A and B are shown apart, each in its own frame.
Chain A
Amino acid sequence: MPIRQDLLDEVDAALGSGVTTNYSTASAANDLFEGYVFSLVIAAARAEGAQVSFEDVNEAAVTSLVFRTSPGFIYSRVQPYTHARIAFPRCPELEAHIGVFVGGRSGVLHECDVAVIDRREAQICRAEGVHPRSGKPLVTLECKFHTGTLQLGQARSFLGLTAELTKNNLFLVTNNSSETAEKMVTYHKAEWEFRLDLINPDIASNLRSRLARAFRNFKATRRI
């Protein structure tokens, strides 16, 4: 069967109009993925009845969102980084952040790609220039975007994070699949959601349900 040069030309032509900077590097694509996972947290919170608004580090309301491309401090004022303010009726308020450091049990700082933190804790951190404590995130998501496969080392690193933070509502989420990583993470009874890609909308729906359950449990236990 001869090579279909016409199909290769179609690929070339499709890319010919120019690829935006959003996909020009692996890290840029990973940023988009973290933003997408953050948005699933927001959607899950709203589905559970939360009022969600967005504000910057000074707690001023914003309509454009600014996120980090690399991990940073929750109290950083270098840029007006955005977090979501999540308010369930009669419950302590929460905040969702992208790329902030959280202190681990060993006293070492760890980056959390997406983290939902008690707002009171976040406010103390912003006021005092300290990092959220290990037990404080309600939900943490470790996001990995890869067009090949999830590296086993990344799954191992995630398992280390579960020992440092908590296994409760700490998820490894990736747009891809890896049988070996799935096997290892499952063996260690950690939470994961692989193939989180718009090609598999049921996976996104599944993750959103799991996040919603975390919010439901929060409401049940923390309602005032």
Chain B
Amino acid sequence: LSRTLADRLNFLSWARELELQPFSGAFSRRTKGEWMAISESDAHEYQIALNKILTDHGLSWIVEQANERIALGKTVSKQLSTGGLFPEVVGGEVRRGRGRMADFLATEPFNEVEKLVIVLDALDLGLVSPPKMQQQTLENIALDAGEVRFVDEAAPSRSHGYRLDDLGPSAHIGTALGEVVSKLRDLL
């Protein structure tokens, strides 16, 4: 499965149409009416709890960026008649305008389950992937013993860096978090 939101939502939508249910990472067929996906209110509670945990750990930027996406909503296409709202008066008789059908863009809010997916994606992107990215960077550069440093001239305290031998703790956080995010996805 692709891990992007769009692909995942498409897949969930497809799975629902086929009466499939996510179960321990796989999808098993259920009879109609037995769909047991997470409820909107549960999804909302998970979001609130995850946002609080991230904020408590000084990671509010991840919450903020996820919220930016949530606030934008999703763009959908609607086909509408362009003439329906403007009746024509022909020979004293009012006729409904014969407009052509045209595609319009509209924005719809995400539902609570979709919002939870966005928060889980943010956890993956912001905390699970970066340690792997650092590891891969050092491998690509082939810098065995050296360090990579990012220097902030204006605010030296914001400078940061890493080296191969101190990636362990970050990698541990990434792995542990990746596992639990995966379990949370299985609830969807």
Contact = CB atoms under 8 A, between A and B. Distances in A.
Interface string B61-75: 110111111101001
A63 B6 contact: no
Contact of A42 (B4, B6, B140): B140
B58 interface: yes
A15 B56 CA distance: 10
B61 to A, nearest CB: 4
Contacts of B176: 10, 13-14
A25 B159 CA distance: 11
A146 B148 CA distance: 21
A199 B151 contact: no
A63 B143 contact: yes
A146 B180 CA distance: 21
Interface string B103-128: 00000000000000010011111111
A24 B59 contact: yes
Interface residues of A, number: 67
Is chain B's interface secondary structure helix, strand, loop, or mixed overall?
helix
Given A1-B38, A39-B137, A146-B65, A17 B173 contact: yes
A36 B149 CA distance: 13
Given A19-B59, A22-B170, A24-B59, A177 B6 contact: yes
A1 B121 CA distance: 22
Interface stretch (B11-19, B23-31, B44-52, B93-101): B44-52
Given A65-B148, A148-B122, A15 B57 contact: yes
Interface of B: 2-6, 36, 38-39, 42, 45-46, 49-50, 53-54, 56-59, 61-62, 64-70, 72, 75, 118, 121-130, 132-134, 136-143, 145-154, 158-162, 169-170, 172-173, 176-177, 179-181, 183-184, 187
Interface of A: 1-4, 7-8, 10-29, 31-33, 35-36, 38-40, 42-43, 46, 54, 62-70, 72, 78-79, 81, 146-149, 151, 175-177, 179-180, 195, 197-200, 204
24 contacts: A2-B42, A7-B180, A7-B183, A10-B179, A11-B123, A15-B177, A17-B172, A19-B127, A25-B158, A32-B133, A36-B134, A36-B136, A38-B137, A63-B145, A66-B151, A68-B151, A68-B153, A69-B153, A69-B158, A78-B153, A147-B66, A149-B69, A197-B129, A200-B3
